[in-house]
Copies of this chain bind each other. A is one copy, B any other.
Amino acid sequence: MKRAKVRIYVEHPLGEGQSVTLARDQARYLFSVMRLAVGDLVAVFNGSDGEWEAEIATAGKRDGILKCRVQSAAQRNPPDLWLLFAPIKKARTDFIVEKAAEMGAARIMPVRTEFTAAERIRRDRLQVHAIEAARQCGGTSVPRVEEMSALTRILEAWPEDRRLMFCDETLAGKGAALSGAPGPWAILIGPEGGFSAAERRMIDAMPQSVTVSLGPRVLRADTAAVAAMTVWQASLGDWK
């Protein structure tokens, strides 16, 4: 029996014997692009039921049905980690979302800061990007991408029990190493223009905040995001 070589994301419950109706673009991808046919196997995941090996039961030009056979990977959720960052350029924002999915963030929160032009984001497009990254990296969960909100508004309502790992690029080399306990955390990546004095005071005053150094060089926001998630995952997350 051939193993599934193609992996797709579906918005459909998965379980033994479950039939999954394909959307038009999925049918086109599987049958026209990947040239799969009835009887071939496909790996499917939906972000909550693990990964399933599914057999192609019917295959049309614009539709098709998969039948789940066996679970090929148990559902594995990443630690309860949020990533907050200020979107600047579209390509770098896409990159940060992709990296957050690979690195196992649970929630991606674009934030508006005082020194970042209020560039608009398209949440739906970024969510698709996160799904695609999860599909490629073999993840069974997909981080949720939120709408952009003002940083100050998010911090005003910050959960009491969630620590905030604060990575400020203007502090390059001056912060401390990460310390703290596992549990709910968030990472806040500073915008390339830095934070305003008011934002900084607000963050410093939060008992949940922990300022962390990412070395002596000033990192771009996208590099800082990967580096910060690495530091967190390696010491408090699921890399141990």
Contact = CB atoms under 8 A, between A and B. Distances in A.
Interface in A94-131: 98-99, 102-104
Nearest to A239: B215
A200 interface: no
Contacts of A24: none
A217 B104 contact: yes
B230 A226 contact: yes
B238 A216 contact: yes
A47 interface: no
A220 interface: yes
Contacts of A138: 172, 217-218
Nearest to A101: B217
Contacts of A102: 217, 219-220, 223
A141 B104 CA distance: 33
- How many copies of the chain does the oligomer comprise? 2
Interface-central residue, A76, A216, A219, A220, by most chain B CB under 10 Å? A216
Interface in A74-104: 76, 98-99, 102-104
A218 B135 CA distance: 10
A173 B177 CA distance: 24
A237 to B, nearest CB: 8
B220 A136 contact: yes
Interface residues of A, number: 31
A231 interface: yes
Nearest to A228: B230
A54 interface: no
A219 B214 CA distance: 20
Given A102-B223, A223-B102, A223-B226, A216 B239 contact: yes
A19 B231 CA distance: 43
Given A223-B226, A226-B227, A227-B226, A103 B217 contact: yes
Contacts of A211: none
Interface string A183-223: 00000000000000000000000000000011111111001
Given A102-B220, A234-B177, A214 B239 contact: yes
Interface of A: 76, 98-99, 102-104, 136-139, 172, 177, 213-220, 223, 226-227, 230-231, 233-234, 237-240
